[in-house]
Amino acid sequence: MAGGIGSRFWPASRTNYPKQFLDILNSGKTLIQATYDRFAAFVPAENIYVVTSNEYINIVKKQLPQLPLQNILGEPSRKNTAPCIAYISYKLHQLNPQASLIIAPSDHLILDPVAFNKVCLEALGFVREHNALITLGIKPTYPNTGYGYIQYEQQTVSDNVYKVKTFTEKPDLDQAKMFIATGEFLWNAGIFVWQVKNVIPAFAKYLPEMFDVFEAEKSHFNTVEESQALQRIYPLCTNISIDFGIMEKADNVYVIPSSFGWSDLGSWNSAWENLEKDYMHNASAGGNVIVFDTQRCMIQTPSDKLVVLQGMEDYIVVDTNDVLLICKREKEQDIKEYVAEIKRNKGDKYL
């Protein structure tokens, strides 16, 4: 899934070139390229699909030239993850009703791809044998309030597979601490595994209106009529996530507790956490930076500009060609508000 606009990484991430197409961690690969490589280790290129916004199709083509062109799927509008997943599920079901599907965001960080591949293969094996919707849960390392949590039964139903009890969206700190203390909760990574023949009935049961519009147009998938069918489908779809729409309601949801060095890279703070730091705990991505009396800062600046910082503590500093952002790290959740205010005052020029 590669259709988001990554507004919490503004001003590096822009509407016309969002974070999944950026090398946020200065690794030599953009996030979508790293995601593709991770899956290409065990999935043939012809079985890897990117669902993105129509406006990003050319960027995907440029960044993933090895991907078959027909596997880059454009959505006519952003309607969250449920319609996106319905689209690829129906498309694959028309090609192969026995197809298994792994759904993953294109902009997450995974530091241990070998462990990730192992968990994915375990999940694929389970869903081939059971009518199951699997989500990958991350063993939490601290009480993060920015992630969703999955509570699971303590008895396995199969090797390392557990029945899900509850989902909780971003808890407050006390709640998150309690979740960690019980040992019954995992972070929700937003990575799902199932067979398409089993997820389509879940749409019928829990999102019947969405099911009806896709069902009415399904004969057009994988034909020259597909694009026009999507133009008819998407205006009729609710803007809803797969989590709210199906996963929190279905009774055949399972989780595999996992540890593969995962971060959703959702914000500048998460980038700071995952970048190498100097002895004063400053993280610098791709910049030409000298610091004095400066600590615990996240700094991203152009490599052709020398930036000198003095006397700063716990700041985010992001410099682009046309925008300079200086923001306290503790206020990073307000960046979305700053972007909304800029849109009101300056239009779309800087977005």
Radius of gyration (C-alpha) of the chain in whole angstroms: 21
61: CB partners within 8 A, 6+ apart = 67, 69, 72
DSSP 13: S
* Among the listed residues 136, 86, 68, the one whose alpha carbon sits nearest the alpha carbon of residue 108: 136
Write the pLDDT tens digit of every residue in 85-117: 999 999 999 999 999 999 999 999 999 999 999
CA-based end-to-end distance of the chain: 21
Q: Which two tokens stand for residue 175?
A: 């709640």
Write the pLDDT tens digit of every residue in 252-284: 999 999 999 999 998 999 999 999 999 999 999
Contact indicator for 298, 329 with CB cutoff of 8 Å: yes
Alpha carbon 223 to its chain's center: 29
Average pLDDT on 299-314 reads: 93
Cis status of the peptide bond prior to 171, with omega within 30 of 0: no
Distance (Å, whole) CA 5 – CA 51: 14
Q: What angle do CA 260, 163, 152 make, to 5 degrees?
A: 65
Distance (Å, whole) CA 258 – CA 318: 33
Q: Provide the whole-model pTM.
A: 0.93
pLDDT score at 75: 96
Q: Which two tokens stand for residue 151?
A: 């509570």
Look at residue 214 and tell me whether its pLDDT is greater than 90: yes
Write the pLDDT tens digit of every residue in 126-158: 999 999 999 999 999 899 888 999 999 998 988
H runs (alpha helix) in the chain:
31-40, 57-63, 81-95, 113-129, 173-182, 196-206, 208-217, 226-233, 242, 268-274, 335-346
Q: How much of the chain exceeds pLDDT 70, in percent?
A: 100
Distance (Å, whole) CA 253 – CA 243: 11
Distances (CA, A) of 21 to 2, 189, 232: 9, 20, 28
Handedness of CA 235, 265, 13, 34 (dihedral sign): negative
Q: How much of the chain exceeds pLDDT 90, in percent?
A: 89
Look at residue 286 and tell me whether its pLDDT is greater than 80: no
Q: Which two tokens stand for residue 318?
A: 């992001």
Which residue's entry shows tokens 């192969």? 96
Contact indicator for 288, 304 with CB cutoff of 8 Å: yes
3-state secondary structure string across 93-155: HHHCCCCEEEECCCCCEECCHHHHHHHHHHHHHHHHHCCCEEEEEECCCCCCCCCCEEEEEEE
Report all structural domains of the chain as residue ranges with CATH numbers, in order of start. 7-263 (3.90.550.10), 268-346 (no CATH)
Contact indicator for 25, 271 with CB cutoff of 8 Å: yes
pLDDT score at 266: 87
Mean predicted lDDT score pLDDT of the chain: 94
DSSP 47: G
What is the layout of strands, in order, in the sheet containing 315-319? 283-285, 298-300, 315-319, 324-328
pLDDT band at 18 (very low <50, low <70, confident <90, very high): very high
192: CB partners within 8 A, 6+ apart = 85, 101, 102, 103, 133, 134, 135, 136, 242, 247
Helix, strand, coil tally for the chain in percent (to 5): 40, 25, 35
